[in-house]
Amino acid sequence: MKKIVLVLSSLLVFTACSLKNEYGIAAYTKPKNANDSLRADTLNTDYAVYTFSNVDSRKLMEVAGDTLQNEKYNDGAKIVQRKSYNRSGAIAGWQSWYVIYNSTSKGIKYYYIRNVFSGKMLDAQSSAINAQLQQSAQLNTGVDEQLWSLQRIGNTQNYRIINKANGLAVENSKKSVDSIPVVLQTLNDSAVQRWTLSLQPAVTYRDDQVVGFFNRNNPSLGSVAFDEGLSIPLEWGANKGKDLWITQDAWDGSALQSNNKFKCTDFFQYRNSVMIQPSRTDWNPNDTKNMTRVGSLQNRPKQIFDIIPNTEWAWPSAGVEIGNHVYVQCGEGNGLGPIVSQSLYDLTEAPNYLWSVKRTTPAGMTNEVQINYSAGMVKDTVAGYVYVFGTMATSFGYTLNVYVARFPITDPMTWTFWNGSSWATTPDSGNEASIASELGTAYVTYVKGKYVLVTMDQGFNCGDATRNIYVATSNSPTGAFTSRKEVYTITEYLYGSYARYYTVSIHPEFDNGHNELLVTYCLNFSGCAVNYCVNGFIDPYFYRVKGIRIPYNVIGL
């Protein structure tokens, strides 16, 4: 079945009366009779979370928009000021910003300013006076409109925020009320251009680059909307540094209409697929294409895992590379489950997109229908085993038990199963054999010397008050795991109603250099008492993978 966060260091001080950016635009000239000094100081940090409070209004800079319509996630969402808003005891993500060092030019440091909630960058798209700021996806070209100097005023915690592209400063429209636009204005000495930067704890944030990777709107692509989204890193031969992305039910790009949506009368084209990402740093969706095969039982070259007789679907999940072979677990069944069988597919690697596919049936695993071994695979080269994690739903899907099996790296067909005290030849679904008791869905992998388990609240029922993701860790594949720690709240809506979510997963191979763990989850078209068909179309946004980054220090790594 489907698996339903820097201490502020001392500030570096050096003075400057008149500074210019690389375009020759004056970054700041001290106004005549100014009663405070502006220095070319910048934060002595490369990466940290801050709030920006206007000195004049005492209000915070935030991303505008209706959360019930997902507007705060949008490219082009406007920047305004508003009083501080707390969510679950912390400043709301749309009022919190990661300040990220990018470069130094003519002695001035420049930063990206990225919103925690949306993962998008503060952007000066226009150089017009009084142009309202907005957020946008990180640019690959013309990046100066997204780069900012932070110039400290005297010995205070107050700064002016100056755009690199145009030399204009950020101000609050000279007003002190909520929802007033935050704009660009000629640099001056007024309090409306002063912002107090308050250091915040590192927090989980939405990874907009990853989200954008799954916004696959090219009709020539294969899989463009799907659930699941597990990754398998490759290291063999010509495939070294690539990744496989495993999907379950998938729509093909040929179904996209001119508005990048699907017709309500259409249905997904295949029950599973595999995409090959050419590099772990290549997040251009157009560069990741589908694996194909020959000999598909359903004559679907992009459907890699066969639907066997007397079943309606084949839903692949966790996998691992051993030599030039990739082994992937696949659950098989009807309707919405449970599984009626499971298999271990052997994918033989090729340097191109056409791979060889073979379905295998390890003893003890294939006929097991209580525990679905879809919740992670870890290859331990020291121990010589691959550990395979599975789950069994309890309490009507609101909780589950987690189990572990293993097979020798040299013999994927020989499985043994942890029964609570030893490895046995047959699975044991009893509570004593469970290595953890978690929530609606779970996944396990290995990161920085620990087994990391991510779990989330049940995401398919309507009206549930908690919609969180949690993490626990263990030193051993058989547990025990720490108490789970809440790390993120899912804030996704389908036309004003909660969107359904599921299939949480971890991707430790995608290291962004900031000691953060990439976690993904999926949305589902169906919402609670809301028709997903609008004006004859379905928006694929609601059937695509979303990504978040969790700071290691938040979860004890």
Mean pLDDT of 158-175: 96
Residue 45 has what pLDDT? 82
Upstream peptide bond of 480 is cis (omega within 30 degrees of 0): yes
Mean of the pLDDT values across residues 538-557? 98
Q: Which two tokens stand for residue 446?
A: 């290995």
- Which of 42-51, 136-145, 222-231, 310-319 is predicted least confidently? 42-51
**Among residues of the chain, what percentage have pLDDT more than 90?**
86
- What span, in angstroms and rounded, lies between the C-alpha atoms of 120 and 76? 10
Q: State the pLDDT confidence band at 529, using cuts at 50, 70 and 90.
A: confident
Q: Taking the model in full, what pTM does it have? A: 0.92
Residue 409: is its pLDDT beyond 60? yes
Question: Between 7 and 268, where is the model more confident?
Answer: 268
Q: Using one digit for the tens of pLDDT, what is the confidence trace for 11-52? A: 222 233 333 333 233 333 333 333 344 444 567 789 999 999
Q: Smallest Cα–Cα separation from 320: which of 367, 270, 361, 373? A: 373
Residue 41: its pLDDT value, please? 52
Tokens representing residue 110 in the block: 């420049």
- Write the DSSP symbol of residue 193: G
Q: Would you say residue 528 has pLDDT above 80?
A: no
For the stretch 47-71, pLDDT in tens is: 999 999 999 999 999 999 999 999 9
Q: Are 400 and 394 in contact (CB under 8 A)?
A: yes
pLDDT single digits (tens) 369-378: 999 999 999 9
- What are the residues whose beta carbons fall under 8 Å from the beta carbon of 255, sequence distance 6 or more? 224, 262, 263, 266, 269
Residues counted in the chain: 557
pLDDT at 42: 60
Domains of the chain in start order, with CATH, are 18-202 (2.80.10.50), 206-554 (2.115.10.20)
DSSP H/E element including 236: none
Residue 116 has pLDDT above 70, yes or no: yes
Predicted confidence at residue 469, as pLDDT, reads 98
Nearest CA-CA partner of 479 in 501, 451, 502, 519: 451
**For residues 461 and 124, what is the distance between their CA atoms, to the nearest angstrom?**
41
Which tens digit of pLDDT belongs to each residue from 459-470?
988 778 899 999
If phi over 0 gives left and psi between -120 and 50 gives alpha, with beta otherwise, what is residue 88? left
What is the average pLDDT score of the chain? 92
Q: Is 100 exposed, middle or buried (0-12, 13-18, 19+ CB in 10 A)?
A: middle
Among 56, 61, 97, which residue's Cα sits nearest to residue 79?
A: 61
Higher pLDDT, 33 or 298: 298
Residue 212 contacts residue 285 (beta carbons within 8 Å): yes
Model confidence at 340, pLDDT cuts 50, 70, 90, reads very high
State yes or no: pLDDT of 236 exceeds 60.
Answer: yes
